[in-house]
Amino acid sequence: MAFEEELNALVQRTKANDENPSRTASYETINRTLNENKKRHEVWMNDVDIFYNKYLKEHPLGQKIDTWLFHRKYDQLVAALESISEDKDFINKMNGISTVEVPKYKAKMLPEYDVFISHANADKEAFIEEMYNSLNKLGVKIFYDKETLEWGDKFKDKILEGTKKSEFAIIVISTNFFGREWTERELSEFLNRQNQNGQKLILPILHNITIEQLKEKYPSIADIQAIDSSKYTCDQIALLFARQFIKRLKAY
């Protein structure tokens, strides 16, 4: 298949709509839908990786595409391929050398997470463990220090890596969260990312605190819609997150 045909096929695959379950959908339906949508997007990004190694390294967008592949940035990759599909000079050039040798493809074995759970250790037993289990039942890929960090890891480096590789951050804010070095470092990392790309990233949960306490302690996130852990079960919070994640995939 010539370069232009391969490019157009990749672009057309992004036009297919992801399945979006109804508000009344069961756990099983949401879990199945989430996994199918994620698998479809992951397969597409792997195919783009192959296409990049075959053709796009010399394109002006090549370095950016490599970075977006590294971070699995679906929407940026779609926009890049759409731009390249309009670059007639490059298309003509590549169609003329469509039999180039394909470099050996090496899959990127990098851990990627749907959500990072930022929390105080003191809240683990009373709340975080149950929420983790509820998310895990839905097949969500979670950065949770207790499950993700391994023996011998440098925990500071690993946590900072997790903040960069997570699509969302559930920030569980309690009085235990206030003033802790690493909880506030995590919050700062996610705020910086959210401010840079303008995309929803932070999903705050107020755990045994009031909105007034949040405004007093963290005014920078006081205007972000939060949920109160006393008004939802952990299973309900997991469903709310799953719907947010499916909307993100659908928007891609």
What positions carry a catalytic annotation? 186
Quick one: residue 117, left, alpha or beta (phi over 0 = left, psi -120 to 50 = alpha)? beta
Contact, 230 vs 2, CB < 8 A?
no
Q: What's the gap between Cα 200 and its chain centre?
A: 11
Report the distance separating Cα 244 and Cα 238, nearest Å: 10
Report the distance separating Cα 93 and Cα 3, nearest Å: 10
Contact, 131 vs 117, CB < 8 A?
yes
Report the distance separating Cα 84 and Cα 90, nearest Å: 8
